[in-house]
């Protein structure tokens, strides 16, 4: 490889990282708005409206690649439908958790998903986990327990929703790895958009309530910026490897801490912050170890879990 080619590749990776960081910031603002909105709007109605936009975006991408029939052709239909259902469940539970649990705490707890991916990959993908990664996973779960310790975040239904959200997203990532062996990223995204649209609408219509102008505008912001941020992540994945971008998902945590303090006057206590730091450190260790072991990272796995 010539020096100029190597320099161009390096520049592309830098641009990819920049786009990913901006997209993650946008997703973090959506989390903050979702916490504000869920106090008065059903999470099922909110998620339905978000998937109207995301479904249209997925359809646009599918049409760009050719016919819809070709795009939806899959060798693993059950896994693809399950992925869409898991992502919907992930978002529902995440927003339900935001209703009662501080924003930064929800973000910290759900960031256990890379650790859960490691565990779920054992039975579902046949992967083996050595002592190093197993220890990192155990340490990460200790970090989660520190957050919900007595005197920390109360262990209530909201916390269970946050744990459920992380578990659903972890399963979603494992199934994404599984289908990536046979299906294109466009096919996988099309199924997420289609299945998510159908399920969220089938449930959301029963929770529909009129919206005032300000609320409608805020939800409209989430719908539009969700499409923009996903588009940025897709471009980023074209410029930099998914394994390079994936660790930057953790930058959502400092943004959540900042927005929680500025908007909701919530402050994460030092011990809970330590627990969050342990979760992040354990997740980064697992990711680094997987890169050494050359565990494949599907492109969609680099996307933030909460759109």
pLDDT band with cut points at 50, 70 and 90 for residue 300:
low
Q: Is residue 154 part of a domain?
A: yes
State the Cα–Cα distance between residues 161 and 153, nearest whole angstrom.
13
Taking phi first (over 0 means left), then psi (-120 to 50 degrees means alpha), and beta for anything else, what does residue 276 get?
alpha
Domain containing 245: what range? 3-302
Among 58, 91, 287, which residue's Cα sits nearest to residue 184?
A: 58
The Cα-based distances of 219 to 40, 47, 73, 100, 114 in angstroms read 12, 10, 33, 20, 29
User: Taking the model in full, what pTM does it have?
Assistant: 0.90
Q: Is residue 307 part of a domain?
A: no
Q: Is residue 56 part of a domain?
A: yes
Token digits for 114? 């890379």
Q: Is residue 61 part of a domain?
A: yes
Q: What angle do CA 158, 163, 164 make, to 5 degrees?
A: 95
At residue 306, the pLDDT reads 53
pLDDT tens per residue across span 235-266 = 998 888 888 888 899 999 999 999 999 999 99
User: Across the chain, what does the average pLDDT equal?
Assistant: 88
At residue 89, the pLDDT reads 97
Q: Has residue 42 got a pLDDT over 80?
A: yes
- Evaluated on CA atoms 16, 287, 180, 60, the torsion sign reads negative
Q: Has residue 143 got a pLDDT over 80?
A: yes
- Range in 138-147, 232-241, 269-278, 289-298 the model is least confident about: 289-298
Collect all residues with Cβ–Cβ distance below 8 Å to 147 and sequence separation of at least 6: 105, 108, 109, 153, 272, 275, 276
pLDDT tens per residue across span 182-201 = 988 888 889 999 999 999 99
Q: How many structural domains are present in the chain?
A: 1
**CB distance 88 to 196 below 8 Å:** yes
pLDDT band with cut points at 50, 70 and 90 for residue 76:
very high
Q: Is residue 78 part of a domain?
A: yes
**CB distance 219 to 95 below 8 Å:** no
**CB distance 95 to 43 below 8 Å:** yes
Q: Is residue 240 part of a domain?
A: yes
Q: Has residue 10 got a pLDDT over 90?
A: no
pLDDT tens per residue across span 145-154 = 898 887 777 7
Q: Is residue 274 part of a domain?
A: yes
At residue 232, the pLDDT reads 92
Q: Is residue 162 part of a domain?
A: yes
Token digits for 26? 């946008």
């Amino acid at each position: 490889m010539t020096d100029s080619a190597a320099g161009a590749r390096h520049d592309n990776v830098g641009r990819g990282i920049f786009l990913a960081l901006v997209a993650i910031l946008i997703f973090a603002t959506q989390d903050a708005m979702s916490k504000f909105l869920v106090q008065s709007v059903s999470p099922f109605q909110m998620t339905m409206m978000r998937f109207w936009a995301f479904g249209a975006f997925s359809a646009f991408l599918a049409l760009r690649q050719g016919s819809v029939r070709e795009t939806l052709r899959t060798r693993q239909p059950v896994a693809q439908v399950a992925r869409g259902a898991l992502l919907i469940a992930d978002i529902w539970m995440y927003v339900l958790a935001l209703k009662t649990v501080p924003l930064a705490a929800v973000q910290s707890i759900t960031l256990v998903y890379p650790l859960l991916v490691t565990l779920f990959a054992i039975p579902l993908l046949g992967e083996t986990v050595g002592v190093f990664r197993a220890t990192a996973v155990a340490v990460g779960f200790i970090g989660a327990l520190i957050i919900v310790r007595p005197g920390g975040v109360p262990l209530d239904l909201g916390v269970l929703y946050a744990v459920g959200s992380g578990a659903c997203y972890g399963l979603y990532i494992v199934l994404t790895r599984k289908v990536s062996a046979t299906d294109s990223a466009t096919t996988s995204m099309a199924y997420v958009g289609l299945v998510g649209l159908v399920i969220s609408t089938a449930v959301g219509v029963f929770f529909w309530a009129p919206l005032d102008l300000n609320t409608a505008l805020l939800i409209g912001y989430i719908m539009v910026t969700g499409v923009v941020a996903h588009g940025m992540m897709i471009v980023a994945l074209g410029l930099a490897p998914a394994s390079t971008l994936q660790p930057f998902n953790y930058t959502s945590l400092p943004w959540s801490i900042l927005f929680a303090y500025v908007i909701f006057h919530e402050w994460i206590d030092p011990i809970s912050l330590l627990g969050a730091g342990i979760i992040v450190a354990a997740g980064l260790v697992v990711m680094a170890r997987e890169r050494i072991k050359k565990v494949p990272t599907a492109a969609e796995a680099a996307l933030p879990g909460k759109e």
